[in-house]
Amino acid sequence: MRKPIIAGNWKMNNTVKDTEALLTELQPLVKDAKCDVVVCVPFTDIVRAVELCKGTNIHVGAQNVAWADKGAFTGEISAAMLVEAGAEYVVLGHSERRQYFGETDETVNKRLTQAIRNGLKPILCVGETLAEREGNKTEGVLQVQLAGAFKDVEAKQAADVVIAYEPVWAIGTGKTATSAQAEETIAFIRSEIAKLYDRQTADAIRIQYGGSMNPSNASELMAQPDIDGGLIGGASLKAADFAKVVNF
């Protein structure tokens, strides 16, 4: 009985003006969605996005959060700042953060616990590189990422985290995992959550697929029993495409 959740990850795209145009076009197209609809926008767009989405079924999220409450952390944005701006969700541990900005399982864990403490709903990204998949290391990599991210997180809190399984080789490449590959790996992630916590938590937690998900492959991916949604990069930048994914 998990409610599907489709989230757009705008990455470093869209000024405030672009945000106004995109969300105004998107709202009527997704108003009857059966899933939770989220847009994770750049920090500078959050306040305007929240204003525009008030009274609609679109929820707004950020793309990272600092692990400290406040202080000498130049360039970081705190959980309190996000909450006051109206953000509900926050993407954490995205592979682009891990690859370009030195994010590790330890820093992801610190950000995750900080998000939870402040009432933000984390969308935790995990996934293997192409070399890791080809070297049969996918399960080991995911085990380490999950154990690291959920360190010191209680079962009740974990059940409210959304996990995004994003094979790094499928992000922004146009290569999608087949629905069978995505289902198999997401079912493995769910079994790991059962090991880290219990069956009830594993059954409750929502796990998305992410990696070149688009209007043409969304319905097949969403038909898989363990896939509870999608984290959508490129296809979330066009209202019509994102709406088609949302209305899978």
Catalytic residues: 94, 166
59, 233, 242, 245: residue in contact with ligand PEP (rule CB under 6 A): 233
Calpha distance 235→239 (Å, rounded):
8
**For ligand PEP, which is the closer residue by CB, 10 or 197?**
10
Residue (49 or 213) nearer to ligand PEP, CB: 213
d(CA 151, CA 158): 10
Positions in 183-222 near ligand PEP (CB under 6 A) = 210-213
Interface with ligand PEP by CB under 6 A: which range of 63-71, 154-162, 177-185, 233-241?
233-241
Element housing 183 (H / E): helix 179-196
Among candidate residues 184, 177, 239, the one with its CA nearest the CA of residue 211? 177
Q: Which stretch binds ligand PEP (CB under 6 A): 29-37, 131-139, 166-174, 199-207?
A: 166-174
Q: Minimal distance in Å, beta carbon 111 to ligand PEP?
A: 16
Report phi then psi at 6, rounded to 5: -110, 125
93 binds ligand PEP (CB under 6 A): no
- Beta-carbon contacts of 109 under 8 Å, excluding residues fewer than 6 positions away, are 148, 149, 150, 151, 152, 153
Q: Is 61 in the site for ligand PEP (CB under 6 A)?
A: no
List the x/- string, 6-45, binding to ligand PEP by CB under 6 A: ---x-x----------------------------------
Could you say whether residue 162 binds ligand PEP (CB under 6 A)?
A: no
Q: What is the C-alpha end-to-end distance of the chain, expressed in Å?
A: 18
Q: Residue 166 interacts with ligand PEP (CB under 6 A)?
A: yes
Q: At what angle do helices 239-246 and 16-30 cross, to 10 degrees?
A: 40
C-alpha triplet 17, 18, 24: angle, nearest 5°: 95
Shortest approach of ligand PEP to residue 168 CB, angstroms? 10
Residues at the contact surface with ligand PEP, assessed by CB under 6 A: 9, 11, 166, 171-172, 210-213, 231-235
